[in-house]
Amino acid sequence: FSGAGHLLPYHLGAARSLFASQVGLHNEPERVFATAPLGLPVRAVAGSSSGAIAAAVMALLPHRLEEYADRFLQDRGHALRNLTCMLQEETSVASEETRRSSLPLTICTTKCSDGSMQLFDFPDEKRDLPYLLHTIQASCTIPPTFHPYDIISSRPLSYPQEGAIKIDGFHYVDGGIAAPAPPTPFDMDVNSHRIVISPLSGGHSASESSIRPRDT
């Protein structure tokens, strides 16, 4: 999932279409961990910026996608706050089987010191909720000195630590700067196919597919 800003509902709609029918979402939550209606088994998800939130919802709350979208729209935002509340609710009631069934999740951030991509992987069997939410917060934190040109710039980048999120002794900001559409651990697997979901129109490489608006 790429960065999307206030277009986060686009991501959620794409996730819903890929991952489960309406019946599966509400009445058969176990189906969403198997095969999508298009016949595509989902092995892992990754996200940058607000796409990190969409990826987390798809990986951890597939049975509550519509509920999350409704909360986001009713609150006119507050995406991270709603994600935090819903994940805390799940922690108190989720069964061990549901936790095992969730997808591997990768959150992308940008390292302040050199502008490099930093990936945080959360396998399905091992997740620390506060740490996960902290990395998502970092992935959504736009540095005050950011300019849109930074995304396509070839020059070395760095960002001030002020306002950044500190994780394991290093400071990180919005993952969409270093990797607008971050990789998953399975991208190089010959048995997997990468799908990029983005609310921005444009092309894609021959080695991947994309879900995005079409230029007219």
Taking only the tens place, the pLDDT of each residue in 73-90 is 999 889 999 999 999 998
- Comparing 19 with 164, the larger pLDDT belongs to 164
The stretch 128-133 carries a mean pLDDT of 94
Query: Would you state the pLDDT for residue 20?
Result: 53
For residue 177, what pLDDT band results from cuts at 50, 70 and 90? Answer: very high
Query: Would you state the pLDDT for residue 117?
Result: 96
Beta strands in 53-99 (DSSP E): none
Distance of alpha carbon 186 from alpha carbon 184, whole angstroms:
5
Which of the following is catalytic: 48, 49, 139, 198? Answer: 49
- Comparing 123 with 53, the larger pLDDT belongs to 53
Burial class (CB in 10 A: 0-12, 13-18, 19+), 21: middle
Query: Up-side HSE of residue 83: CA atoms within 13 Å toward CB?
Result: 26
Distance of alpha carbon 60 from alpha carbon 98, whole angstroms:
9
Could you say which DSSP state residue 214 is in? Answer: P
Q: Is 189 a catalytic residue?
A: no
Task: Please give the model's pTM, rounded to 2 decimal places.
Answer: 0.84
Could you say which DSSP state residue 196 is in? Answer: E
Query: Would you state the pLDDT for residue 25?
Result: 40
- Comparing 108 with 9, the larger pLDDT belongs to 108
Which of the following is catalytic: 50, 139, 150, 174? Answer: 174
Condensed to tens digits (0 to 9), the pLDDT of residues 16-54 reads 887 654 334 434 444 333 344 445 688 899 999 999 999
The stretch 100-111 carries a mean pLDDT of 86
- Comparing 202 with 185, the larger pLDDT belongs to 185
pLDDT at 155 over 70: yes
Distance of alpha carbon 10 from alpha carbon 54, whole angstroms:
9
Distance of alpha carbon 24 from alpha carbon 66, whole angstroms:
12
Q: Is 174 a catalytic residue?
A: yes
pLDDT at 173 over 60: yes
Burial class (CB in 10 A: 0-12, 13-18, 19+), 22: exposed
pLDDT at 142 over 80: yes
Name the least confident of 48-52, 129-133, 206-210.
206-210
118-121: long-range contacts at Cβ-Cβ below 8 A with a sequence spacing of 24 or more?
Answer: 118/170, 118/172, 118/175, 118/178, 119/46, 119/182, 119/183, 120/167, 121/185
Query: Would you state the pLDDT for residue 110?
Result: 97
